[in-house]
Amino acid sequence: MNRRDFNALLAGLGLTFGEGRIHHARATTSRVDVFTLRANDWVPNNPDLPVIVYRNALEAGPDREAVYEDLFAHNGWPPQWRNGVYPFHHYHSLGHEVLGFSNGSARLMLGGPKARTVEVRGGDIAVLPAGTGHCNLGSDEDFTVIGAYPPNQSFDILRAAPTAEQRARIHGLPFPKTDPVQGAAGVLAREWHPS
């Protein structure tokens, strides 16, 4: 068995290696914020699907990115990047997005200019439906984000009103089969419904 398959097996069991010991990779959260964003200026948002923010879902800290990646992959949302959140308003039409905040903290504006300010910190995880505007208003130097998407979905960076084709794509994206944080029986399954 190669290393990747072995790590996938551990993730499937809710375990990962880190710093020479096994860590539990199952998410636990005491608070979940759910809110819907209406269209705002040129940002379409997604009036049918709410934003979901899990608070303190995973342990935060340096070198925790692999734990987030394993959790997302285990729950059917393959991780695609590690970075931050861009400091300009943008949204995606090619996929729903989960952002795992593994370290640091930030003030994000969700929903486009003058919309909703959300404070996030290491341990929080946000699920943004396609079309949701987001922008980093300021963050710690060590702010680290892991981005993941459902299978066969990805991201584009849109900074203007959507075309008719982009709008149709946003509303036509398939629903994820699982919640990226809690799996098949998670909050996403309860909150996201066909319009």
* DSSP string covering the chain: --HHHHHHHHHHTTEEEETTEEEE-----SEEEEE----BTTB---TTS-EEEEES-S--STT-HHHHHHHHHHTT--EEEEE---SS-BB-SS--EEEEEEESEEEEEESSTTSEEEEEETT-EEEE-TT--EEEEEE-TT-EEEEE--TT-----B-SPPPHHHHHHHHHSPPPSSBTTTBTTSHHHHH----
User: In the prediction, which pLDDT does 54 show?
Assistant: 97
User: In the prediction, which pLDDT does 4 show?
Assistant: 44
Give this prediction's pTM: 0.85
What would the mean pLDDT of 101-109 be, rounded to a whole number? Answer: 97
Q: Is the pLDDT of residue 110 over 90?
A: yes
The set of residues, in sequence order, having a beta carbon less than 8 Å from that of 193 and lying 6+ positions away, is: none
User: In the prediction, which pLDDT does 26 show?
Assistant: 55
Backbone angles phi, psi at 82, to 5 degrees: -125, 130
Q: Is the pLDDT of residue 181 over 80?
A: yes
**Position 185 confidence tier, pLDDT thresholds 50, 70, 90:** confident
Structure tokens at 162: 């959507």
**Position 19 confidence tier, pLDDT thresholds 50, 70, 90:** very low
- pLDDT tens by residue, 140-163: 999 999 999 999 999 999 999 999
- pLDDT tens by residue, 38-73: 999 999 999 999 999 999 999 877 779 999 999 999
- For the chain, list the domains and their CATH numbers: 28-191 (2.60.120.10)
